[in-house]
Amino acid sequence: MRANWASGFAAWAMLITGGCALSAGEAPSAPENRWRPLFDGRTLEGWTPKIRGYELGENYRDTFTVRDGAIRVSYDSYQEFGSRFGHLFHEAPVSAFRLRLEYRFLGDGPADTPGWARYNSGVMTFSQDPAGIARDQGFPVSVEAQLLAADGSAPRTNGNVCTPGTDIVMDGRLTKQHCINSSVSARPADGGWLRFEIEVSPSGLVTQRVDGEVSIVYSSPQLDPKADMADSLPLIRDAGGRLEMKGGYISLQSEGAPIEFRNIEIMDLGALKPPQVTNARPTSE
């Protein structure tokens, strides 16, 4: 189950600094414009967990399992959540792509799950190499496509975007807001499957869809040198001060909400075409 992160890191380093070549000896990417599965429906082959407080590859109390053709995030064996935020990483970094999957929430999580994390999960993209995530780091430096279900009477939206250690551009301007809500209303967590898709075009435009409805459009994901989350700073240093994010890893969240993911597929759209974004900082909102 544990991926070959040594070769993966080399590929990610090329992506984060603007290159797109594969490391020596690595298999070429799949043909463009063809869907291929990232999950075999039976095992976690090609996926590796990283849970806060534990080493990469340690699947604490079977947080991530496979059941009935779906990856299940479960807390049945937990005594308490204890801020054990986790992510299940696919082994290969990606650049321009379309990703599609189905998901459904499975009810309440542990009693000590933070209120904001109830019926809250997500898909992380543009993520840092999981081999570089600190043992006690809660979230990878990445851009999150946030998946929510309704929780009580308070209004909630779905298909939002959040930026741990990163920034994005919307409507031509850099935004420093950590989470940006969409216009798509969150549905009740009734166990029904929903479709989610994210497309990163070769031009760098990112479009998220929930059940075919566009929820968020943004561009130019980049490392944030002034983030409250200081985990981005070593990445900026290692990239020679460059902020552009030319790609990264994909992961599924375990954030305290029981959830399942299935039919996970990706289509390679090639490489992001430089220059995607300069290091000049646009006016913040």
* Residue from 226, 208, 225, 205 nearest 276 by CA: 205
Would residue 118 count as lying in a domain?
A: yes
In 3D, which of 18, 8, 1, 12 has the Cα closest to residue 244?
18
164-201 in b/e form (b: 16+ CB < 10 A) is: bbbbbbbeeebbeebebbbebebbebeeeebebbbbbb
**151 contact partners, CB below 8 Å, separation of at least 6:** 118, 119, 189
Q: What average pLDDT does the structure give for the chain?
A: 88
Task: Give domain status of residue 275, yes or no.
Answer: no
Domain contains 126: yes
CATH number at residue 251: 2.60.120.560
The pLDDT of residue 226 is 86
Tens of pLDDT, residue by residue over 104-141, are 999 999 999 999 999 999 999 999 999 999 999 999 99
| Mean pLDDT, range 209-214, rounded to an integer | 98
pLDDT score recorded for residue 31: 58
Structural domain range at position 142: 5-20+32-268
Cα–Cα distance measured from residue 235 to residue 165, given in angstroms and rounded to the nearest whole number:
10
Higher pLDDT, 226 or 17: 226
Closest CA to 38 of 182, 250, 218: 250
Other Cβ atoms within 10 Å of 155 Cβ, number = 9
Answer yes or no: is 208 within a domain.
Answer: yes
More confident residue, 78 or 272: 78
pLDDT score of 206: 98
β-bridge partners, 40: none
Residue range 265-278: mean pLDDT, rounded: 77
pLDDT of 52 over the 70 cut? yes
- The total of structural domains in the chain comes to 1
pTM of this prediction?
0.87
Query: At 273, is the pLDDT very low, low, confident or very high (cuts 50, 70, 90)?
Result: confident
Kindly give, in sequence order, each residue whose CB lies less than 8 Å from that of residue 80, ignoring residues fewer than 6 positions away.
110, 111, 112
If you compute the radius of gyration of the chain from its CA atoms, what whole number of angstroms results?
Answer: 18
Q: Is residue 202 part of a domain?
A: yes
Question: Does residue 278 form part of some domain?
Answer: no
Give me the pLDDT at residue 13, please: 52
- Reported as a single tens digit per residue, the pLDDT across 1-45 is 444 554 454 455 555 544 443 333 334 445 568 999 999 999 999
Residue with tokens 């849970």: 51
In a domain, 25, yes or no: no
What phi and psi, each to the nearest 5 degrees, are found at residue 234? -60, -30
- Average pLDDT, integer, range 239-263: 97
